[in-house]
Amino acid sequence: MTETIELGDILIAVTRKTVRNVHLSVHPPEGRVTLVAPTNTRLEVARAYAISKLGWIRSQQSKLQQQDRETPRRFIKRESHYLWGRRYLLNVEEKEARPCIMLDHKRITLRVRPGSSLEKRAQVMHEWHKLQLHEAVPPLIQRWESKLDVTVKRYYLQRMKTKWGSCNHRAGNIRLNTELVKKPRDLLEYIIVHEMAHLIEPTHNERFIALLDRHYPGWREARDELNALPLKAEIW
């Protein structure tokens, strides 16, 4: 069961799990705060801990608020779009044919029917992004299944406002944010490893950290790089 601690304008979701220590986290992109505490921790004790970390919480939230954000995409010619961390200029072709996207070394060409709406153009781009991820994700999962000795039964791609990924360890499924297609490929791999490690250890406890340290020692740098990249402008 999740409880909530209110510290002025800050809401902290408290979850009790079989961990040794309290874990306080501020999550991108909007600064959501969670606190994971040992099972027998009283709420007053968790609250006192959160109060002691209030300055740190506000500092982390301030960093997130100052983080660069993409301006909303308009899907017009010469607009900047990103694929695997690389910037491309958008070329738009209006043609009475099935919408599609073509890629060369400098441009992403979006072909749409004349008069197509912003929503339609965004939909075509989003579907293409998912195709790119469906090509990139399975080989990475296969590689890390053997390294971690786990099995991913299914993976899902979806828009996610507050997470880069998630894991349902009971079902053996992982979910990945479609925005990862815009980031460097090694950051996609980091998120996949992170979520697959949750199939072994569902919480962010010492065992989980040890798993990442052993199998993906550069995970902290990858996490910091990912969280420093521009956030998506939320228009959906």
Instruction: Give residue 17's pLDDT.
Output: 87
150-177 burial, b at 16+ Cβ within 10 Å, e below that, comes to bebeebebeebeeebbbbbbeeebbbbb
3-state secondary structure string across the chain: CEEEEEECCEEEEEEEECCCCCEEEEECCCCEEEEEEECCCCHHHHHHHHHHCHHHHHHHHHHHHHCCECCCCCCCCCCEEEECCEEEEEEEEECCCCCEEEECCCEEEEEECCCCCHHHHHHHHHHHHHHHHHHHHHHHHHHHHHHHCCCCCEEEEECCCCCCEEEECCCCEEEEEHHHHHCCHHHHHHHHHHHHHCCCCCCCCHHHHHHHHHHCCCHHHHHHHHHHCCECCCCC
Instruction: Give residue 131's pLDDT.
Output: 98
Question: pTM of the entire structure?
Answer: 0.73
Q: What are phi and psi of 104, to 5 degrees?
A: -130, -170
Is 96 strand, coil or helix? coil
Q: Residue 100's beta-bridge partner residues? A: 111
Instruction: Give residue 62's pLDDT.
Output: 84
Instruction: Give residue 66's pLDDT.
Output: 66
Report the chain (236 residues): mean pLDDT per 10 consecutive residues: 88 90 83 91 94 92 70 90 94 96 95 96 97 98 97 95 88 96 95 97 92 95 82 45
Integer Cα distance of 112 and 92 in angstroms: 8
Residue with tokens 């599609």: 100
Instruction: Give residue 114's pLDDT.
Output: 96
Instruction: Give residue 149's pLDDT.
Output: 97
Q: What residue ranges define each of the domains in the chain, with the CATH number in brackets?
A: 2-66 (no CATH), 80-228 (3.30.2010.10)
Instruction: Give residue 236's pLDDT.
Output: 30
